[in-house]
Amino acid sequence: MTEKNANRAIRRLHEVYRDYFTIGAAVNAYTVKQQQELLRTHFNSITAENDMKFESLQPKENQFNFETADKLIEFAEQNDMQVRGHTLVWHNQTPDWVFLGENEELASKELLLARMKTHINTVVGRYKGKIASWDVVNEVIEDHGDTLLRSSKWLDIVGPEFIEKAFEYAHEADPETRLFYNDYNESFPEKREKIYSLVKSLVQKGVPIHGVGLQAHWNLHTPSLDHIKEAIERYASLGLTLHLTELDISVFDFEDKRTDLLQPTEEMLEKQNKRYEQMFSLLREYKDVISNVTFWGAADDYTWLSDFPVRGRKNWPFVFDEDHNPKTSFWGITDFKSK
Ligand code: GLA
């Protein structure tokens, strides 16, 4: 905490944002203990960082393991928090058996769809009424070139309709929960347009989709505020709700491979503060279309960015520091006049 803020009363982040959007954090079994106080105080929504992914919930066929996921739901219930479910259909963290048929050959389309249905039915059904929104399909857009969809076993075996099937199954399992398409690099114009055209086609086909998740793994310089604004407007023009689902602001540019820092520099913290302040000011302007902003973590003592994209390189992407105290950026996003 900087000197000038030392004696200021800390307001709860989610209360400051009560008239704007819910404030979330990605959590796991470790952080719900380690960061318990911080989570309870400042957040009113959680997402399981890994514990609701396919490999965690159904590591072997028909052997579901809900232990940790259930505990996270319980934590949310005890603390009056919403839950964002993450994620049902993805090319990563999905066990190999899902795509295999007999004799180690690829599963048939029918078999894979039947497995998808069983998984979605079981998982979404179990948490019916407890999970307010689900990232149904994650990251299916190809990053580069003209190709729309990323190559994956889902696509190879089922064809593009695997996407709409996932939404249909999820909707059948819980008609009330809100269903999202979620992706990264979502604010860069080239990828934004691809995401937009995919989601638009789903909407036009009458697929039950209610929202777009902007992962928002950003850094001090990119994406630009203009690009963020354009992305928000573009997705919102489809008439869907938007969530920022995995927000963090890396103090390193993606290409920056330095590993020597034990602390963030003052310059980094200043830039990060400014960036958070400008971004949240923009997000507040769009409160009518944005209903949740979730950080991919809560405080700088735990972040996936300390292992990605450079293994073992510490990062400090949040508005709370390693001791769970507010950083300057916390004041940057909480000091504003309500409109
Ligand atoms: C993607 C996924 C998340 C998580 C992050 C990295 O954004 O959607 O579940 O795996 O990568 O932590």
Q: How far is the CA of 211 from the centre of ligand 1 (A)?
A: 18
- Residue 208 — φ and ψ, nearest 5°? -75, 85
- Residue 63 — φ and ψ, nearest 5°? -110, 90
Kindly report the pTM of this predicted structure: 0.96
Q: Is the pLDDT of residue 8 over 90?
A: no
Each residue of 48-69: b (16+ CB within 10 Å) or e? bbbbbbbebbbeeeeebebebb
Which atom of ligand 1 lies nearest, measured to the CA of 138? 8
Q: Atom 6 of ligand 1 has which residue's CA nearest to it? A: 304
Residues 6+ apart with CB under 8 A from 259: 310, 312, 313
User: Helices (DSSP H) in the chain: which residue ranges?
Assistant: 13-16, 31-34, 36-42, 54-57, 67-78, 109-126, 153-158, 161-173, 189-204, 225-236, 266-285, 328-334
- Residue 45 — φ and ψ, nearest 5°? -155, 145
Q: Atom 2 of ligand 1 has which residue's CA nearest to it? A: 138
Check: CB of residue 294 under 8 Å from CB of residue 244.
yes
Beta carbon of 215 within 6 Å of any ligand 1 atom: yes
DSSP of 104-134: GPBPPHHHHHHHHHHHHHHHHHHTTTT-SEE
Give the pair of three-digit tokens for residue 248: 């963090």
Q: What is the rounded distance in angstroms from the CA atom of residue 259 to the CA atom of residue 274?
A: 24
Q: How far is the CA of 53 from the centre of ligand 1 (A)?
A: 10
- Residue linked to tokens 């709860």: 12
pLDDT of residue 259: 87
pLDDT tens track for 124-171: 999 999 999 999 999 999 999 999 999 999 999 999 999 999 999 999
Confidence band of 3 (pLDDT split at 50, 70, 90): low
Q: How far is the CA of 324 from the centre of ligand 1 (A)?
A: 23
Q: Is the pLDDT of residue 2 over 70?
A: no
DSSP label at residue 244 = E
Which atom of ligand 1 lies nearest, measured to the CA of 304? 12
Which is catalytic among the residues 139, 193, 285, 322?
139
Check: CB of residue 46 under 8 Å from CB of residue 205.
no
Q: Is 61 a catalytic residue?
A: no
| HSE-up (13 A, CA, CB side) for residue 150 | 18
Q: Is 139 a catalytic residue?
A: yes
Residues 6+ apart with CB under 8 A from 62: 118
Q: What is the rounded distance in angstroms from the CA atom of residue 186 to the CA atom of residue 195?
A: 7
Which is catalytic among the residues 49, 186, 246, 277?
246
Q: How far is the CA of 218 from the centre of ligand 1 (A)?
A: 13
pLDDT tens track for 241-298: 999 999 999 999 988 888 889 999 999 999 999 999 999 999 999 999 999 999 999 9
Q: Of all residues in the chain, what percent carry a pLDDT higher than 70?
A: 98
* Averaged confidence pLDDT in the chain: 96
pLDDT tens track for 12-69: 999 999 999 999 999 999 999 999 999 999 999 999 999 999 999 999 999 999 999 9
Q: Is the pLDDT of residue 339 over 70?
A: no
Considering only residues 312 and 142, tell me which one the structure prediction assigns the higher pLDDT.
Answer: 142
Beta carbon of 328 within 6 Å of any ligand 1 atom: no
Beta carbon of 303 within 6 Å of any ligand 1 atom: no
Task: From 55, 243, 296, give the residue whose CB has the most ligand 1 atoms within 8 Å, as the site to mutate.
Answer: 296
Q: How far is the CA of 308 from the centre of ligand 1 (A)?
A: 11
DSSP of 252-304: S-TT------SS--HHHHHHHHHHHHHHHHHHHHTTTTEEEEEESSSSTTS-G
pLDDT of residue 5: 74
pLDDT tens track for 191-240: 999 999 999 999 999 999 999 999 999 999 999 999 999 999 999 999 99
Beta carbon of 184 within 6 Å of any ligand 1 atom: yes
